[in-house]
Amino acid sequence: MKIDVVVDTKGMACPMPIVKAKKALDGLASGQVMEVLSTDKGSVNDFRAWVKQTNHELLGHEEDNGVYKFYVKKI
């Protein structure tokens, strides 16, 4: 998977990961992929809801040593 931009929101609490992700996604072209790094456990549900609401595509997410990684494709 080609990542076009990485947004590091580690250490930030809700809603900042979503706010930062939205700002980064606004700067991407359709079809580009953003990776968001977060340490906020609540971000898993937040990202699912946000992607559904904005009609972008959540390609997947994973957790690695307390860091949540989200892959979002701009539609």
Active site residues: 14
Of residues 8, 17, 5, 27, the one with CA closest to residue 51:
17
Surface-to-core class of residue 50, CB atoms within 10 Å of its CB (0-12 exposed, 13-18 middle, 19+ buried):
buried
Token couple for 11: 């250490």
Report how far residue 23's alpha carbon sits from residue 18's, in angstroms, rounded to the nearest whole number: 9
